Structure 1
Amino acid sequence: MTEVEITTPHHPLKAYVATPKGEGPWPGVIVLHDIFGLTRVTRGHADWIAEQGYLAIAPDLFSWDGRIRCIRTLMRDMAARRGVSFDDVEAVRSWLVGREDCTGKTGVIGFCGTGQFAILLAAGHGFSAAAPNYGPVPNDIEAIMGGACPVVASYGGRDWTIRGGAARLKDALERNGIENDVKEYPAAGHSFLDDHKGLIGILGAVIGASYKEKEAADARARIRTFFAQHLGDGTVPAEESRWTTGGRSPARKGFGRGL
């Protein structure tokens, strides 16, 4: 696992890279962090994806300036559907594709706010698969899904912030003829794939945004299968037991832990 710095058209951007075992080349996956930034949770997502045979990179979208300014820029760019944040992701994708150990195929996965970002990146940005997780669904979702790459998406039925989001996304993808796997988990709330600890975890539990082990394992299995079909050779790797609990093996402590 490596920390790197990527030059974008606007600024240097720090990133975390997780490399699969063995010899490449491998497909690449960009792992977009949630509103808390590049925490151990996001690094854990990148580690899990690398275990499945993908060159995973988690860019720190908040590393180029103060956190508040970076968050405002991300929100503004998503509303405008263009800007610094999109340029940053494209620079990271180009960095992946330019590596000798990358096949040239890339996917993107996002969580919470960047779940919406992953939706916006599904069409016209060079990705072969997108995996938005509990990201807000744009009001014009049907219009912007034309020509999108295949999408695997996961939502929580108890997520009061995105009521009906899964159904609207599914409908838009179907109407545009986009291959998809969209699932809503009735017992899960927001952030059910993110096992935040400490104060973040406590606050999340209070508002119904906490890790759900069973639902998280199922969502990971669906993403694993979908990525294998659209990024890999169709062979689905067997999931190792340590990932079913949202935690690393004892030798690699820290998966899924917050700030």
Structure 2
Amino acid sequence: MSEVIPQIPKVSSLIIHSGNIVNWNRLKRKPNQSSTEELSECMRETLSNHLKEQDKTELQYVTEIDSPHTKYMEKLPKDTRGDLKITLKFFMCRLLEPATITKAIEIALKEMDVDFIETVLLSFPDFEDGALTLENIQPYWKVLEKLVEDEVVLALGISDLDKCLLEQLYDWAQIKPTINQVNLESCCVMPKDLTEYAKQKDIQLLTHNDPKDILSDSKLQNIIASSSTDKDAENWMMQWVIRYAVLVKCRGIIKTKAYITCSSRDFKRQR
């Protein structure tokens, strides 16, 4: 992309809401998309549409952007809430302040116009300095436990724990994990020790194919550049991604699937 005057020179915080992608016709034609490909397309189109609708002069002074795909934003009808089950997965793209989880879930609750979520799943990023430990998990799990105590969340789950770490979390936690997601790309067969332990503790083992790094900083920067300019895309970092799905209980049909993402820009890193 040729160098032009930046559209969003002062923006340092960006939240993108895909709205209900079940209604995105273009995504229906791509059933085999990876999670990263699906998320990237949602973010790219949502941000592009949002920026096209904004006054270009006013954008020069904006420091935060909240970008909903207005065509697909939906609140859940109050009269059918009892027939619906919401599962939300919170992807940490880097280590964050634990309270960030509460703020992010509040955004999702407001978007759906609901008071509670049935299940929240927690996914950690890869650690550069070693493997995930119980000490890493504890501060975030305490925040989730508080959400359960406040009846904002009903059940908790986590992703990609082996038997040893799952046992440590279960023994330590006041509110026990009820789900452990396992990525079968990293292990073709469910480990026997994990299967036996989960059965003993009544923990569901569910498979998934989400990468640890669901959206890299470089992919984020490419998305922003495609909607604005190369200069606008510099020094952006992913913070977190929420993906929530709303299931019609008795029919097993996904009524809603949506992404909410949060990213930030560090101007100190600019040349």
Fold agreement, TM-score > 0.5: no
Bigger RCO (CA 8 Å, 6+ sep): 2
- Larger strand proportion, structure 1 or 2? 2
TM-score (norm 1): 0.37
